[in-house]
Structure 1
Amino acid sequence: MKRIAALILLASLSANVLAFEPFVASDIRIDGLSRITAGTVFNYLPVNKGDRITNDAAQRAIRALYQTKFFSDVELDRDGDILVIKVVERPSIAKLTLRGNKDIKEDDLRKGLKEIGLTEGETFDRLSLDRVQQELIRQYYNRGKYNVSVEPHLTNLDRNRVAIDIEIREGKVAKIKEINIVGNSAFTDKEIRKTFESNTSNWMSWYSKDDQYSREKLSGDLEKLQSYYMDRGYADFGVDSTQVSIAPDKRAMYIAASVKEGEIYTVSDVHLLGELILPEESLRQLVFTKKGETFNRKAIEASSDAIKSILSSIGYAFAKVTPVPKLDKEKRTVDITFYIEPGKRVYVRRVIFQGNTRTEDDVMRRELRQLEGSWYSQPAIDRSKIRLQRLGYFKKVDVDKKLVPGTEDQVDVSYKVEEQSAGSLMFGVGYSQYSGIILSASVSQNNFLGTGDSFTVGAQRSDYSTSVNASYYNPYLTDNNIGIGYNASFTKTDFGNTNSDFVNYTSSTTAFTTFLNFPITETDNVRAGMGLSSNKIKLSYSYVDTTTGLVQTTSQSPQQLIDYQNAIGHETIHSWTGQLGWNHDTRNGYWAPTRGGLLSANVNVALPGSTVQFYKLDLEASHYWPLGRGFVLYLDGQVGYGNTYGSQTYSRTFGDYKQGANYDFPFWENYYSGGVRDVRGFQDNTLGPRVCVGTTIDPVSGKQVPIRPNANGTCSGSIYNYSQPVGGAFKVLGTAQVYLPLPFLKDVNTARVSWFVDVGNVYQSYSTFKASELRASTGLSLQWQAPIGPLIINFAVPIRSKADDSHFEERIQFTFGSQF
């Protein structure tokens, strides 16, 4: 074909060159130009005015002008001593239309067309259009659509222009009807195909699309087939042949693969050769295949990667480790040799940042663990990437290394980032079943002026709560990453106005805290803080009797709470607080981590001099594990414990609270359980201890006593039929969650769907804990970082509950809008 094309080109060139005697061109004239300027033609022309024009020179000129692809015809003539070049311009593309493409996005198609010169405004080349047609068909074939039709339509327009309309009929994807493995005896088809991406149609194919044929997918499956055998000792396994046939209607595919299993081999010896750099004993600890073990290719590859990793951590950025197995087919053994080529030891000349349009270089550079001028270290580079990702300023962080031109021992490391909004000015309306309508306004910036400092100022109002909050945090008060933060807030909460049967009282809290954050290791930090708060507790429909100085109530507030407040003799609670916390954070992301975990321990203490001296200890352990194919397992466990301390006694006797007895844990500091972010499937804060409203006469003592819940949770004689949750001083919560890879949710940083199981409850104290009282639920959850703020929708079904929980169960829960 190439020879035929060359002959056709030679014939056309010869035909376009008139036979004439050589002459010296006194001038050059170009006829036939309309869009293209004469100057452009002269730039490509290999002859000039004053040159001697021969047949060879004329052919070179024609060839050069054809290669510009500007002209469909070029002809040379002579007018006296003037060289005349007659051209016919190719038409320009006035309009390019794509129709019918759904599987391949139009932007991707137009980008590919532009790369080969088929775009609006460019010169039209019929050969390019033919290549586009064949390339599109090839791409659809790779997607399993063998009945695709690509038809280009050409319309001639005035002024030497054309309009191109590419009509695509994608058709249906060919479905896999059969997959046959021939020659396997050691393992069944089911065992072999367990990891295949290709499969015949099944009840999950609507979601997984595993029955849709793809050449690339089949190639990957054959590689998995080989790995399956070679990881189990079959060192000489091979795929003899594969055959893919298609039905006449191009809708069904039949796949067959013939394999040769071979025999199981054991490792006879392992050698390390080359320039080892490190002591051989140290390197052998990184070799995961040993003499006498069954041959395992995965272990051999892991050994190579481990040796390369340790060498890359001490400067050998381009180290090569090549495993060479030598098979003895008679003894069925394998002798494995690792050839180590460390290459030059290199150091990092420069660290370059790209894409940070807002964030200052210094803010990124202080997160680096790979320093300029030091030896190259892959672990330090990888750790730097994770630290940049966890800032929350960037959608994506990519890292690359390049040798400095002209050197063998210097590299430049570049971090390319894609910035995302780190601040917001928000006016929002939200809703949750617990809070009702939420009105909010806030100004927040997690990367203030690109400095890495963060602040938030906001206000929020719901059916039961009003809050104002202002906070500021500087993560680098000092160069060694000691951070300082401040927070001031005012919150007024009327629990009686919640959309659940919650215990009725009003809390108005004004608080200020400041804290220091100390980094201890790469993944550990300690936070210490001090604060003060004033909390005014007012029971619903209550007043202070001016004669006795005691709190009285007309209705609604539980008698136990009234007695407690009267026993301590205070309506306004003052607290001096101290906080101390420790975090061990190995998560690989900020919004949506996929690996790593968080361990934390925090203690908050109301110091001596506070109205009530108490402490709260909170422990949490969570971890993410990638399961493959986009699935991520998340486990989380939390424990909260509170108690009073020191010598504190009641000044009065009321109900269960006797003068001189030690204080109970204050009810306004209680933990709560249940809700959209807790044990899902139960209303917010409704699990755990409950109290009734009102008093009754004890038939034994004849005294007036608070009404207590019956065995079924009801309150006979109370103004409420059901008891009201009051929380407790001890809380347990456990969550198991699997994040699901859904094809319509491409960006996990924006939205995620998970299947969960929650277990937990809250107890009056640690001594009252009973595992039999734990509640559990399961369901699906959608978390979306919506423009209006975080949105959570849960569908949950309680799978472990008590009869008296039925009033508080909730199948569908949702909340959206900003949260403080």
Structure 2
Amino acid sequence: MKRIAALLLLASLSAKAFAFDPFVISDIRIDGLTRISAGTVFNYLPVSRGDRMTDAMAQRAIRALYQTKFFSDVEMERDGNILVIKVVERPSIAKLTIRGNKDIKTDDLMKGLKSIGLAEGETFDRLALDNVQQELIRQYYNRGKYSVTVIPHVVKLERNRVAIDIEIREGQVAKIKEISIAGNHAFTDKAIRDDFELGTPNWMSWYSKNDQYSQDKLKGDLEKLQSYYMNRGYADFGIDSTQVTIAPDKQSMYIAADVKEGEVYKIADVKLLGTLVLPEATLRQLVFVKPGEVFNRGAIEASTKAIKALLANIGYAYAKVTPYPKLDKEKRTVDLTLYIEPGQRVYVRRVIFQGNTLTEDNVMRREMRQLEGSWYSQALIDRSKIRLQQLGYFKKVDIDKKRVPGSDDQVDVTVKVEEQSAGSLQFGVGYSQYSGIILSASVSERNLFGSGDTVSVGGERSAYYTRYNATYYNPYLTDNGVGIGYNLTYSKTDYNDVDNGEFADYSTSQRAFSTYLGIPITDFQSLRAGIGLSSNKVNSIPGYTPQQLIDYQDEIGHDTVHSVIGTFGWSMDTRNGYWAPTRGGQLSVSSEVALPSSTVKYWKLTTQANHYWPIGHGFVLYLNGVVQYGQTYGQNGISDDQLEALQKASLAADPNHVITDMRNDFPFWENFYSGGVTDVRGFQDNTLGPRLCGGTGTVAPNSGSYCNNSYYNYAQPIGGALKVLGTAELYLPLPFLKDVNTARVSWFVDTGNAYANWDSFTPKTLRASTGLSLHWQSPMGPMIINFALPFRTQPGDGYYEERIQFTFGSTF
């Protein structure tokens, strides 16, 4: 057999093939295949039976087989007129592991390796492994880890396989020792670096990591430096050079930048050119730079964005606004031209929903304010996104637009969502320092069968409280968004079971049914009106229940109070999310009226206002204020003659017991309470406000809330007809909390109290506390942990103060 060719390396395309006499190929035989099929080789082979084989063709064939990266060796021989190709297959990757990586997730690394063919089951290519090694080192360099080492280990296995183990030794991030800027005269280093992400070590570096070098952060800081000058008139500012030096130990970095400040320029003229589809006067209202003002790049960018947004709201989805500043260096002025290219006006052909495996399309479509067949509007798109986020069904909502192929005036809008559970079947055990062990069971679904309806059935039992309820709400009873809801409740409260007399001793047993309508006014505002029936039995305990409450109940003349309750409310919700909003807020006013046919005629009013503000760097400021007030009206309780007889009988039995006329007082079982884990933190639940001693006990002189002649030493909170609450909260961007929808940490300041009535309110008696709070959507249900320090208190509060408060488990 005559040898006609030899190994030809891919890296050397000029490798020689042995000379041979040309011949016509009668057949082709391939030797050495184990994993790769002969058909695969023939697909890449540039010769076939019947071809005339020459030296040039042999080199082409060997080159083609090497380029497949399947083989480490290829030889060609001639056996008569049969072309024999001998190959040695590259090994396959049996196992691929990565260890030592902390900065970059293993899953992310594996995806990157797979994209370049380095994965289990693929053919092993040593050159690809070397490239991976260099790329990993580059990525760690970008993160400031210059001492990183990447060591690939390749172990040969039986059956022509290999195991690859990539060992990463990340090392430490290089710390910035010095940042110097040369050429700045108008502003100090401190002023121009105030907003930099990078900096030298300080007492907050453990948290901000500002002293850890990053190429991306440096690029961003240089952009901020340029913006700082150009927003203050330096239109020809420039950065001449930037040097980054690393110490020999690869642990210290030195950054230097040379800048050219230039001169301060003023705006000489502002022109609007291009295709003005709106009156120029309308567009000029969105130009935030005027002739005579100092040049400001930030204001120019804001102007272009505002004009683009206006055009996008009337169908010009792809509008462009390009600023062209022309500098006059002698006069130090700038002629600014904003060139407007609105493009083709487009309308929406279709709205497409993706990712909603449970939620029906029509449930999402009814929240959309961008309609099919209408002109495209970015404002309506943004509003639709917020409404979808407020549903609470989705973890993520993205809305994109795409041109319809073959059409210049149509786009399709795609709404991509990532659903999250909107329902639960829970059997839980929770704990609250105030309520003790909480046993609960519930079946709830806020998106019933994907219809958007809400239904729940549940029960809860704690040390003093039992409640069962069933609710149903259809948010779209009519096509225009009028919703209807029903609520059935049974509850029993026995405050006598609360330890240490932390609540006035009495018990209630209530049955209630209500129905209500939700009526939308705008996309963010709605009305709610309803009516309900309730029966509430109030049981006092002589000797334990404060005598004043027993007297009030005697004056009402009934142990069981029947009520016909009318409710009405208005609310506005502009929050950008359901679980963890970062902007927007809520305003609400709600009222509850016990109608004239009720045993006790009263009304309650609740007003609330809160708002979220993102203030940069992941911080979110939250302010909340609540005022609740209640009062009776009309004639309540027994007649004047009956009251007089009651007072005489009381005096005859106890000359020291004088019953006052309390028939117009607000019913104590409807009182508002203050203090607790979700109220004024740092105080036990419901313990702030008016307090009474049990039975006929009285408050001892100069003793705060210490009682004489009472079963309990301390006076018992009874709530009041007026409640005031204010909260300021700063949500913190802690690095270990990646998902704010799961957990949030905040620093708070709370203030508030409950008062017997409006006349008894005085700011001097407002309590206040401050501390840290963790809200966590844990697998066992929502959990709240507070560390609070009361700093504004009154005598007698010490008994009810709590430094650490927590509650977890399912509650209704």
Instruction: State TM-score, norm by structure 2.
Output: 0.95
Look up the SS of the partner of 1:695 in the other structure.
coil
Separation of aligned partners in 2, 1:764 and 1:790: 33
Paired residues of 2:692 and 2:716 also in contact (CA < 8 A): yes
2:587 alignment partner in structure 1: 599
1:635 alignment partner in structure 2: 623
2:807 alignment partner AA: T
1:573 alignment partner in structure 2: 561
Q: Deviations over 1:303-358 (max 9, x none)?
A: 00000001001111110000111111111111111000011111111111111111
How far residue 710 of structure 1 moved from its aligned partner, in angstroms, is 5.6
* Uncovered stretches (5+) of structure 1, i.e. residues with no partner: 1-6, 541-552, 697-705
Separation of aligned partners in 2, 1:449 and 1:270: 57
Mapping for residues 775-790 of structure 1, pairs under 5 Å: 775-790=767-782
The answer to whether the aligner puts 1:446 opposite 2:438 as a matched pair is no
Separation of aligned partners in 2, 1:650 and 1:191: 74
Separation of aligned partners in 2, 1:53 and 1:480: 80
Mapping for residues 289-300 of structure 1, pairs under 5 Å: 289-300=289-300
Q: Deviations over 1:174-193 (max 9, x none)?
A: 01111111121222111111
2:722 alignment partner in structure 1: 730
Look up the SS of the partner of 1:819 in the other structure.
coil
Separation of aligned partners in 2, 1:294 and 1:774: 49
Separation of aligned partners in 2, 1:48 and 1:580: 87
2:610 alignment partner AA: S
Q: Deviations over 1:21-71 (max 9, x none)?
A: 333222111111111010111122222222333333333322222221111
Q: 1:262 to 1:449 in 2, by over 3 A?
A: same
Instruction: State TM-score, norm by structure 1.
Output: 0.94
Aligned residues: 790
Bigger mean CA offset, 412-421 vs 276-285: 412-421
* Uncovered stretches (5+) of structure 2, i.e. residues with no partner: 1-7, 648-656
Paired residues of 1:348 and 1:372 also in contact (CA < 8 A): yes
Bigger mean CA offset, 642-651 vs 181-190: 642-651
2:570 alignment partner in structure 1: 582
Q: 1:708 to 1:493 in 2, by over 3 A?
A: farther
Paired residues of 1:709 and 1:715 also in contact (CA < 8 A): no
1:413 alignment partner in structure 2: 413
2:792 alignment partner in structure 1: 800
Taking only aligned residues, the RMSD between alpha carbons, in angstroms, comes to: 1.6
Q: 1:162 to 1:747 in 2, by over 3 A?
A: same
1:222 alignment partner in structure 2: 222
Look up the SS of the partner of 2:708 in the other structure.
coil
Separation of aligned partners in 1, 2:636 and 2:687: 30
Separation of aligned partners in 2, 1:471 and 1:649: 33
Paired residues of 1:433 and 1:499 also in contact (CA < 8 A): no
1:496 alignment partner in structure 2: 496
Give me the identity figure in percent: 70
Separation of aligned partners in 1, 2:609 and 2:535: 32
Bigger mean CA offset, 593-602 vs 475-484: 475-484
1:509 alignment partner in structure 2: 510
Separation of aligned partners in 2, 1:114 and 1:815: 46
The answer to whether the aligner puts 1:750 opposite 2:742 as a matched pair is yes
Paired residues of 1:13 and 1:63 also in contact (CA < 8 A): no
Q: Deviations over 1:608-629 (max 9, x none)?
A: 1100000000000000000111
2:665 alignment partner in structure 1: 664
Mapping for residues 235-250 of structure 1, pairs under 5 Å: 235-250=235-250
Separation of aligned partners in 2, 1:324 and 1:240: 23
Q: 1:714 aligns with which of 697, 706, 709?
A: 706
Separation of aligned partners in 2, 1:235 and 1:503: 72
Q: 2:612 aligns with which of 624, 631, 646?
A: 624
1:179 alignment partner in structure 2: 179
Separation of aligned partners in 2, 1:45 and 1:371: 56
The answer to whether the aligner puts 1:145 opposite 2:145 as a matched pair is yes
Q: Deviations over 1:62-83 (max 9, x none)?
A: 2222221111122222222222
2:166 alignment partner AA: I
Separation of aligned partners in 2, 1:626 and 1:566: 54
Bigger mean CA offset, 187-196 vs 738-747: 187-196
Separation of aligned partners in 2, 1:344 and 1:365: 26
2:740 alignment partner AA: V
Q: 1:611 aligns with which of 599, 613, 621?
A: 599
Separation of aligned partners in 2, 1:235 and 1:317: 31
1:556 alignment partner AA: Y
Separation of aligned partners in 1, 2:26 and 2:532: 95
Mapping for residues 48-67 of structure 1, pairs under 5 Å: 48-67=48-67
Bigger mean CA offset, 513-522 vs 716-725: 716-725
Q: Deviations over 1:5-29 (max 9, x none)?
A: xx974855643x4423333222111
Q: 1:682 to 1:709 in 2, by over 3 A?
A: farther
1:806 alignment partner AA: G
Separation of aligned partners in 1, 2:638 and 2:755: 23
Q: 1:761 aligns with which of 753, 763, 771?
A: 753
Separation of aligned partners in 2, 1:630 and 1:487: 39
Q: 1:333 to 1:711 in 2, by over 3 A?
A: farther
Q: Deviations over 1:134-191 (max 9, x none)?
A: 0000011011100001111111112111111111111111011111111212221111
2:651 alignment partner in structure 1: none
The answer to whether the aligner puts 1:464 opposite 2:456 as a matched pair is no
2:317 alignment partner AA: A
Bigger mean CA offset, 176-185 vs 141-150: 176-185
Separation of aligned partners in 2, 1:72 and 1:403: 48
Look up the SS of the partner of 2:603 in the other structure.
strand
Separation of aligned partners in 2, 1:721 and 1:607: 40
1:693 alignment partner AA: G
How far residue 88 of structure 1 moved from its aligned partner, in angstroms, is 1.4
2:653 alignment partner in structure 1: none
Q: 1:811 aligns with which of 782, 795, 803?
A: 803
Mapping for residues 271-670 of structure 1, pairs under 5 Å: 271-499=271-499, 501-540=502-541, 553=542, 555-648=543-636, 650-651=638-639, 652=643, 653-654=646-647, 658=660, 662-670=663-671
Separation of aligned partners in 2, 1:454 and 1:58: 74
Separation of aligned partners in 1, 2:779 and 2:714: 39
1:261 alignment partner in structure 2: 261
Look up the SS of the partner of 1:150 in the other structure.
strand
How far residue 564 of structure 1 moved from its aligned partner, in angstroms, is 0.2
How far residue 596 of structure 1 moved from its aligned partner, in angstroms, is 0.4
Paired residues of 2:505 and 2:694 also in contact (CA < 8 A): no
1:675 alignment partner in structure 2: 676
Q: Deviations over 1:115-139 (max 9, x none)?
A: 1111111000011000000000001
2:413 alignment partner AA: V
The answer to whether the aligner puts 1:114 opposite 2:114 as a matched pair is yes
Look up the SS of the partner of 2:707 in the other structure.
coil
Q: 1:370 to 1:709 in 2, by over 3 A?
A: farther
Separation of aligned partners in 2, 1:777 and 1:441: 34
1:701 alignment partner in structure 2: none
How far residue 372 of structure 1 moved from its aligned partner, in angstroms, is 1.4
Paired residues of 2:10 and 2:67 also in contact (CA < 8 A): no
Look up the SS of the partner of 1:195 in the other structure.
coil
Paired residues of 1:788 and 1:818 also in contact (CA < 8 A): yes
2:650 alignment partner in structure 1: none
How far residue 233 of structure 1 moved from its aligned partner, in angstroms, is 1.4
How far residue 647 of structure 1 moved from its aligned partner, in angstroms, is 3.0
Separation of aligned partners in 1, 2:620 and 2:418: 24
Bigger mean CA offset, 712-721 vs 803-812: 712-721
